[in-house]
Structure 1
Amino acid sequence: MNHSLRTLLLVSVPLAAISLSGPAAAQSLEGVTLVEDGKLTYGVAASFAPFEYVLDGKLTGFDIEFIQGLAEKLKVEAAAMNMEFKGLIPALRGGRIDLINSAMYINPTRSEQVDFVPYMEIGNNVMVQAGNPRGITGRDDTICGKVIAVTLGGISESQARADGDRCKAAGLGEVTVLTLPTAQDSALSLSQGRADANYESTPGAVMALEKMPGVFEIAGEPFEMDTQIGLATPKGATELQAALASAIKAMAEDGSYDALIAKWKLPPSVSLFD
C-alpha cells in the first residue's frame, strides 16, 4: 500500500472501515437524514478554478463533476448551493447543506468544526509575472518585502502571513498580504502589477499558465505538497461519511476518478489512490 493511501486511511475513519480488496460498491444513503430527500445538497464557493468556478453562467470544474459522479453512485441528485467560502462551514453547521464540496483544505482548525472525507492531495506554487521582474526565487527570503496576493480565508493567506512573520523576525522587510475574494482576483492583481507574487494551488497554477500564456511563470519549487483536501461533513455524521468514502473508492476503482483528474489537467500526484 502506498504512502498516500496509508495517509488517507489514517485521517478518515470511514475509508478505514471499508475493505480495499475486491470491486467497490458504493453504500446507500438509506438511514441518512438529508436536507432534502433524494438530493445531496452541497455548499460550494465557485471561485477556485479548476476545482469550481462559473463559466457561461454554469457551475463547472473538477469538484462539480466529482460530486455528480458520487451522487450517481449513491443514487441521489447533486444539488449545489453557491456561496462565499467563509459561509460554507456556518451553512453546514446550521443544517442548510449536507456537506461542503469546495476543495477545502484539511487543517486542525477546520477539523475542530467539521469532519472530512479526503479525496485529493495538492500543493502550492509561487506564481509571478512573466519575466519575474521582482527576482523572486520561490517561497524563500526573496519574498520578504514583497506584496503577495492571496484568497481571503484560504490556506494561502495563512502561508503568506507566516512568511510575513518570518521575514519580519529576520529583519528582511515585511510582507504585505493582499487579500482578495477569489483566486481569479488574486491572479488578476498579479497580472496588473498590484502584487509581486501570488500563492496558488499547483492545479490552479497549471490552469493559469495554460489559460493566460506569457502572463505568468512559476518561481521556485512547489511547497507543502502533502496538503489534503476533502469533503466536509457535520461532526459525527459517520453514516454519511462512510457512504461518501465508499463512493469515492468506487470511482477510483472504475477509473472515473482518474479520468476526471486527466480531464481537468491536474498533475497525477494529486491522486490518493496511485
Structure 2
Amino acid sequence: MKKNMALLSLVAALGLTACDKPENQTAGSTADAENKVYNVGVDNTYPPFEFTQEGQLVGIDVDLINAIAKDQGFNINIEQMDFSGIIPAMQAGMLDIGMGGMSITDKRKETVDFSDPYFAAGVSLVVADDNQNITSLSDLSDKKVVVKNGTVGASFADKNTEEYGYSIIQVSDSASMFQEVTNGTADALMEDYPVISYAIATGGLELKTVGERLTGDDYGISVLKDKNDELLNMINDGLANLKESGEYDKIMNTYLD
C-alpha cells in the first residue's frame, strides 16, 4: 500500500511540473532558441553594412541582426572574416548565419537558404574621378578591372570578361580594391552601389560611379540550406516586426541619407 501511495504521489508531482510549463513554450523550439548562441559571420570591411568605428564593429547588418535577435529572443555572437569565407565557414559548421551585404543569387541558393530581402542593391562600375574615357562596359576593352573575391561584382566581371575584353585583378577587401583604381594599377572596379556610394561620400575617395547599375540585386540573411528552417523563420519574423515598428527605417537612416 505504501508503495502504491508513493507511486501516486510521484505521478501527481510530475503532472504538476508539466502544468507549470508556460503554454507558449514547446520543447526543443522556443526554449532551445533562447538558450542557443547563433554565430553570425560578417565582413568588417564593407561599410555601411559592416565596418569598424572607434574600435567597435558597427553598420547596417550589425544593427539589423542584433535587433532581430532581440525581437525574437535569441542570442548571437558576431564573427568577423573575409566575405569569401562566410559560406565555407557555414558549411564547416562554424557559423549559423551569414551576412555581409550578401546578394541573393541562384548560385548561392544551391548552398544556403535566404531570408526575405532586406535591401535593394546592385553592382556599379567605378573609375577614378578624373577618368573621362570609361563611361560604360563597352569602354573596358584591354583594360584592367579589380574586384573583391566572392562578391556579385566578381561574378559579374568573370562572366563578362570575354564579351568586353578586360582582364581581372582579384583582391580580398574593399579598401585594397579602391586603392588599385586610385593608384592606377587598375582602370575600373565593380562594387555594390550602396557600398561604393557611402565610401565615396564619407571616405574622400577620388572615385566616381559611371553608367547605369550593372545588376539589380537584393541582400538577404543566409543560413545553411535545409538545416536551419526554425532559425530562418525567426529571422523573417523579426525582420517583418522591425519593418512594421519603424526600427528597420531607423537603422537604415543611421547610415544612409
Q: TM-score, with normalisation over the residues of structure 2?
A: 0.82
Unaligned runs of 5+ in 1: 1-27, 168-173, 267-274
1:144 to 141, 145, 154: 141
| Alpha-carbon shift at residue 90 of structure 1 (Å) | 2.3
* Corresponding pairs, count: 231
Is 1:155 equivalent to 2:152 in the alignment?
A: yes
**Does residue 1:76 correspond to 2:97, yes or no?**
no
Relative to its length, the structure with more strand (as a share) is 1
Residue 60 (structure 1) aligned with residue 58 (structure 2): yes
Aligned counterparts of 2:97 and 2:208: Cα–Cα separation in 1: 35
Q: What is the correspondence of 1:1-274 to structure 2 with a 5 Å cutoff?
A: 31=29, 37-117=35-115, 118-133=117-132, 135-138=133-136, 140-167=137-164, 174-213=165-204, 215-225=206-216, 227-236=217-226, 237-265=228-256
Structure 2 Cα separation of the partners of residues 35 and 190 of structure 1: 46
Classify 1:196/1:69 alpha carbon distance in 2 versus 1 (closer, same or farther; 3 Å).
same
CA contact (8 A) 2:51 2:57 kept: yes
Q: Which structure shows the higher helix fraction? A: 2
Cα distance in 2 between the residues matched to 1:47 and 1:29: 40
Q: Deviations over 1:198-230 (max 9, x none)?
A: 1111111211221244611121122212x1221
The alpha carbon displacement at 1:70 in A equals 0.7
- Equivalent position SS for 1:79: strand
Amino acid at match of 1:263: T
- Rounded to whole Å, the distance in 2 between the matches of 1:188 and 1:198 is 10
User: 1:214, 1:104 → 2: CA distance?
Assistant: 24
Q: Contact (CA 8 Å) 1:35, 1:97: kept in 2 or not?
A: no
Q: Give the residue type in structure 2 aligned to 1:239.
A: E
Determine which structure has more spread, i.e. the larger CA radius of gyration.
Answer: 2
Deviation at 1:179, TM superposition (A): 0.6
Which of 1 and 2 has higher RCO (CA within 8 Å, sep 6+)?
Answer: 1
Gaps of 5+ in 2: 1-25
